Amino acid sequence: MSEVAKTPGASSAALSPSIYALALLCIAYVISNLDRSLLSLLAPQIKADLSLSDTQFSLLQGFAFVILYALAALPLANLADRTTRTGVIAGGFGLWSLATASCGAAGSFGALMAARMAVGIGDATLMAPAFSLLSDLFSKERLGKALAVFNMGGAIGAGAGLAICGVLIETLNRSNGLVLPIVGHLRPWQSAFVLVAAPGIVMALLFALTVREPKRREWRATTVEQGGVLAALRAEPKTYALLFSAYPLGALVFSGWIAWSPVFLMRHYLATPSEAAAVLGVAFAIFGSAGVLFAGAFNDHCFRRGATDAPVLLSIGSAASLALIGSIAPFMPNIIAFGAMMCLFVFVGSCLNIVPAVAIQMLTPNRQRAQVTALFLLVVGVLGAGAGPTCVALLTDQVFRNEAALGSSLATTAAIFSTLMALLLWIGINVFRRSLASAAGG
């Protein structure tokens, strides 16, 4: 088990290993997004083959993924806090790859649901341990940028994943899928899942063999020496409550849009999978990356100047912008105008990832850091990755009762939940200020 070092600085000698580990984590995050991009683009094929409604398909996008994530997140984070985070990440990524490949063997809604549940292990073993690992690899003055670069992996993964998967789907459609030994013929959508799983095995081996576990460091001026997650949460209950209630609302909006915007492009603008992938790939890869990098640099700049409330003000502005842009974008007259609005939507939405990630690492003692992060990501996962796609689908199926009204469902979700997030952060900003000052010893 790694020793906990009490000095908050970062060694310049550890710079190269730190950057190498960050680069591998970014690539891992890119790969872990491929299955979600693939699922959205394959919606028409999967719905037709398995005779699914929008609501049923949304369960594959959201709650199927969240169920096992919810069960595994805290135990795996506890394991990461007590053993080596590198081992947990490598092992979990190998399991994610096998689960993604098993989606390709599914021939029914139940089988695909079970496979998607197993995929949830991927995020459960990557995100929280990665955040904790990075907090020991980089100084607190540089953590915002490090986490921004890591989160950029998600943006690039969503964008590049859409582009790669769009080309892959059209290629497999032309060849009518794959024929594999023992398994036999796979439909194009099944073949796609098998192919995107392969890089994950390589990444799991690379991480296990080449990344060393760093020494653990404490950042808080006063630490919680005993106790687990509850002890850590009791140290700053109001601030954690704010983080756990406000930011999942933004995740709900963003995940709903990520899941359904490819389908919206294909339904409303009659785009092909590759055309939808091209439009959204630019938005996520370029503007999503720009958003997280801007937010990370902004956070570090504000921290150096002592303006601890500025990142929260950025979150308030981003949430309000998300509500406005999301209310307008689905009603654009053509696909180019929608793509431009989507670029803005992704930029401001990506800014919301950094503030809670940095705040939790700063507020939480080292030996509870992965667990508190996992609990936060669990709440974000249930309300975001879980409820977001289904919220949009339920509005389409049960309120508007028309698949052609998908744009209205997206607009309604953005307007309501993004506005609520902005209001919660505005009300609680003073609580956030006091907590960060206390954690820094002020």
Domain of 330: which CATH number? 1.20.1250.20
Q: How far is CA 415 from CA 55, 261, 349, 410, in A?
A: 21, 16, 13, 9
Domain that holds residue 242: 16-209+227-439
Q: What percent of the chain clears pLDDT 90, i.e. is strictly above it? A: 17
Residue at 435 is within a domain: yes
Q: How far is CA 259 from CA 35, 166, 202, 393, 435, in A?
A: 11, 15, 27, 10, 35
Residue 396 has pLDDT above 70, yes or no: yes
Q: Give the model's pLDDT for residue 345.
A: 95
- Separation of alpha carbons 126 and 138, rounded Å: 18
Q: Which one has a higher pLDDT value, 289 or 345?
A: 345
Q: Which one has a higher pLDDT value, 414 or 61?
A: 414
Q: Which one has a higher pLDDT value, 252 or 68?
A: 252
Q: Give the model's pLDDT for residue 441.
A: 55
The model scores a pTM over 0.75? no
Q: What integer is the mean pLDDT of 26-45?
A: 81
The continuous run of DSSP H or E covering 185 comes out as strand 184-186
pLDDT band at 135 (very low <50, low <70, confident <90, very high): confident
In degrees, to the nearest 5, what angle opens at C-alpha 85 toward C-alphas 82 and 91? Answer: 115
Q: What integer is the mean pLDDT of 172-193?
A: 81
Residue at 104 is within a domain: yes
Residue at 345 is within a domain: yes
Q: Give the model's pLDDT for residue 369.
A: 74
Count of domains in the chain? 1
Q: What integer is the mean pLDDT of 8-16?
A: 45
Q: Give the model's pLDDT for residue 40.
A: 79
Task: Please tell me what DSSP assigns to residue 16.
Answer: H
Q: Give the model's pLDDT for residue 293.
A: 82
Q: Give the model's pLDDT for residue 8.
A: 40
Q: Give the model's pLDDT for residue 371.
A: 77
Q: Give the model's pLDDT for residue 336.
A: 94
- Per residue in 425-438, pLDDT (tens digit) is 999 888 877 776 66
- Separation of alpha carbons 244 and 356, rounded Å: 9
Tokens linked to 337? 């105008």
- Separation of alpha carbons 272 and 269, rounded Å: 9
Q: What integer is the mean pLDDT of 101-130?
A: 83
Question: Which of 38-47, 224-233, 389-398 reaches the highest mean pLDDT?
Answer: 389-398
Q: What integer is the mean pLDDT of 309-322?
A: 86
Residue at 235 is within a domain: yes
Q: What integer is the mean pLDDT of 183-190?
A: 80
In 42-107, the DSSP E strands lie at none
Give the DSSP per-residue string, 166-179. HHHHHHHHHHTSEE
- Separation of alpha carbons 170 and 187, rounded Å: 12
Residue 7 has pLDDT above 50, yes or no: no
Average pLDDT, the chain: 81
Residue 237 has pLDDT above 60, yes or no: yes
Residue at 3 is within a domain: no
Residue at 354 is within a domain: yes
Q: Which one has a higher pLDDT value, 127 or 9?
A: 127
Residue at 1 is within a domain: no
Give the DSSP per-residue string, 219-259. --SS---S--HHHHHHHSHHHHHHHHHHHHHHHHHHHHHHH
Backbone angles phi, psi at 201, to 5 degrees: -65, -40
Residue at 136 is within a domain: yes
Residue 351: half-sphere exposure toward Cβ, Cα within 13 Å: 24
pLDDT band at 235 (very low <50, low <70, confident <90, very high): confident
Contacts of 51 (CB under 8 A, 6+ apart): none
Q: Give the model's pLDDT for residue 150.
A: 83
Residue 209 has pLDDT above 60, yes or no: yes
Task: Please tell me what DSSP assigns to residue 122.
Answer: H
Q: Give the model's pLDDT for residue 217.
A: 64
pLDDT band at 284 (very low <50, low <70, confident <90, very high): confident
Q: What integer is the mean pLDDT of 155-178?
A: 79
- Separation of alpha carbons 206 and 96, rounded Å: 15
Residue 17 has pLDDT above 90, yes or no: no
Residue 340 has pLDDT above 90, yes or no: yes
